Homo-oligomer: A and B are copies of this chain.
């Protein structure tokens, strides 16, 4: 009843770069669609991976040197046609990484704006679409977009991250008021931005990604 099945993991790594939401695409080194830009991924290794998320972290560590970033399961895609090698099942993950933590080997990978993408192999276009949807949907009422920032950040940076992540403008005054009222941030010290201009307070998330009822933008 049970034939050979291809079990893989794929990552949608999103980051903010140059004021735009971008995704990391790897140039495929091996056979199916060799040379094409695609989501980074790899096989699940039953002999060493404790589960799919473990496999995903291993792949991201090996391929991109990433660790300590935000990772959540997105969805699972399967079928006989999505991979030319045969019936396959792929567990896709959403990874959010601050731009300064991304060390991209430019000969192998590059950042692409999510609203201006090349054609993608497999069903990676669909997966990427779902990932952005997840960020936009869940981001409005959670601290998800803050995962795109360094550990400490100013409210202006946080505000900008939400605007980029959610793809909409958000009133700065309301944003500050709501964020502070939610009591999800801990105070830090002073820190000056960009060089000149008035310095801004810095904050950090009290806990990891949390969800709340109020929305921080969206209508």
Contact = CB atoms under 8 A, between A and B. Distances in A.
A80 interface: yes
Given A2-B6, A4-B2, A5-B5, A46 B76 contact: no
Which among A2, A45, A140 has the greatest number of chain B C-beta atoms within 10 A? A2
9 contacts: A2-B6, A2-B7, A4-B4, A44-B78, A46-B87, A50-B79, A73-B75, A76-B76, A137-B211
A4 B51 CA distance: 15
A215 interface: yes
Which among A43, A73, A75, A218 has the greatest number of chain B C-beta atoms within 10 A? A75
Interface in A39-80: 43-47, 50-52, 73, 75-80
In the complex, the count of this chain's copies comes to 2
Interface of A: 1-7, 43-47, 50-52, 73, 75-80, 86-87, 89, 91, 137, 140, 211, 213, 215, 218-219
Contacts of A140: 213
A93 to B, nearest CB: 10
Which among A44, A140, A211 has the greatest number of chain B C-beta atoms within 10 A? A44
Nearest to A88: B46
A46 B88 CA distance: 9
A51 B73 contact: no
A46 B213 contact: no
A193 to B, nearest CB: 32
Contacts of A47: 3
In the A-B complex, list the 10 residue pairs whose CB atoms are closest, starting with the nearest: A46-B87, A51-B79, A76-B76, A52-B78, A51-B78, A3-B46, A76-B91, A5-B7, A213-B218, A73-B75
A1 B80 CA distance: 20
